[in-house]
Structure 1
């Protein structure tokens, strides 16, 4: 492997070898080849987080937040909003980037098209959406044909591939998310209310926000949308939160990886809720954080014997 954290590969192989002694036999990593493969996925997951850490130390061009610009990048754009003192805009753009995701080929094309009215209308910032939610829905309806044609609109990322591009579905996601972000006023008010309810411990706050998003269409019914959104808020330092669990209930890829790890079978009958504490306990040995564990298990189970790089 090349790149950052490659020097930690042997460290993680050693820690993985300790798991059997501390947590019991793990059939999924009985071979050295599988232990190395999972260790490589852990390194890849750490790199993705390190990328965000690097962005925090760099300057950001204002064009990064403009969907009509050729250098539109909503991750950097959210940082620019935050540095401009516009927290609600930063959190809103983080929602947009999470909902559509970065496609392996199209990259941010779908997010740019919806956020930027396909280049022929307003940019649907938090303020613009608040002023004219019906206008946003009309824009979606007017572009239903473009949305249906992936060659024009772009595609969802792998994490969001089951989301619908029908105007009414996108409209419902934006509407219910906006209601969530503004329930107490702005996002800062939601954080104040969360801290008043559960305290300021980052894991407790993450959990409270995670549970509070159940009503957000396209996010609350499952767990990946909520998990990805909230972990991104934490990585971009838009909220003082961090996951204290892998949140396996209703998971797919991470749960398959956990089942493979503990039982040697991706399709084992054990539920995510029952397996979650055992997976959380892995971090006591690996010490990489819950997001890295869930991400690396998800990618490892796709190819447990031969390392492959996977994008989100």
Structure 2
């Protein structure tokens, strides 16, 4: 293993052994090979956190926001908008990058194409979309062939590429972000209801997204979106749970980790 945190493998393997000694062995990682693999997964997660922490400390070119630019990067673009005082644009672009995801080969191409009208029309910023969502939906229909060739990231691979499905996701998400005015207004309303503790705020926002098509029915979309808002410091929130109740793969993995059986009968 190369890269940041690579020298921490033995540290995490040692901590797993400490847990085993205190509570008994975890059946899903009973072998040395599995413990080593799990330690690598922990390092992979730490690297993703370190990546966003590093970006926050760096300068960002305005071109990162521009889907017509060769250096378009919606993560950096969200940071740029936030630094310019355009919180709603930053939140909107974070939604877009979460919905399409970063594909292992095509990277941000899907988000770039839709956000930038396939290089042949307007950039569908928060303000532009809000002014004419019907025009956005017409753009999707006109580019149905191009959309069909694009790929969601692994976390979003079960999402529909149908123009009407994408349109519905954008429409219901926009309604969520603007329900109280703008995102800051939603955050203020949430704080008034549950307080300002980051875990409680995250939980309230998570539960409020059930109306967002393609996000609210499951776990991963809204979980990834909200955790990204926290990591990019766009909102003072952090998950206090892994929210396994709506999970599929993660829930099976947890059952395997603790019981050695992906189908173990436990809520």
Once the 2 structures are TM-superposed, how far is the Cα of residue 46 of structure 1 from its aligned partner?
Answer: 0.3
Within the candidate set 171, 176, 180, 1:175 is matched to 171
- How many angstroms does 1:268 deviate by? 2.4
Structure 1 counterpart of 2:84: 84
CA distance in 1, matches of 2:18, 2:206: 32
What's the counterpart of residue 187 of structure 2?
Answer: 191
- Please report the RMSD computed on the Cα atoms of aligned residues, expressed in angstroms: 1.0
Question: 1:114-147: CA deviations, max 9, x gaps?
Answer: 1011111110000000100111111111111221
Structure 2 CA distance, aligned partners of 1:94 and 1:104?
18
Alignment length (residue pairs): 267
Q: Report what 1:105 is aligned to.
A: 105
Q: Structure 2 unaligned runs (5+)?
A: none
Task: After TM superposition, give the deviation of residue 266 of structure 1 in Å.
Answer: 2.1
Match of 2:226 among 226, 230, 245: 230
**Per the alignment, in what secondary structure is the counterpart of residue 244 of structure 2?**
coil
Compared with structure 1, are the counterparts of its residues 24 and 73 closer, same or farther at alpha carbon in structure 2 (3 Å cutoff)?
same
SS of 1:70's equivalent?
Answer: coil
Superposition map of 1:1-312 within 5 A: 1-148=1-148, 150=149, 154-270=150-266, 274=267
Give the match's secondary structure for 2:246.
coil
For 1:194 and 1:159, locate their aligned partners in 2 and report how far apart those are by CA, in whole Å.
27
Compute the TM-score of the two structures, normalised by the length of structure 1. Answer: 0.84
Distance 2:79 2:185 in 1: 20
Q: CA deviation at 1:196?
A: 0.5
Residue by residue over 1:232-251, the C-alpha shift from the partner in whole angstroms, topping out at 9 and shown as x without a partner, is 00000000000000100121
Q: CA deviation at 1:19?
A: 2.1
Aligned to 1:281: none
Q: Which runs of no fewer than 5 residues in structure 1 stay unpaired?
A: 275-312
> Counterpart of 1:249 in 2: which secondary structure?
helix
State the Cα distance separating 1:23 from its structure 2 match.
Answer: 3.8
Deviation at 1:262, TM superposition (A): 0.8
- 1:173-213 deviation digits (Å, cap 9, x = unpaired): 00000000001100000110111111100000000000000
Determine which structure has greater relative contact order: mean sequence separation of CA pairs < 8 Å that are 6+ residues apart, divided by chain length. Answer: 1
Q: Which residue of 2 aligns with 1:289?
A: none
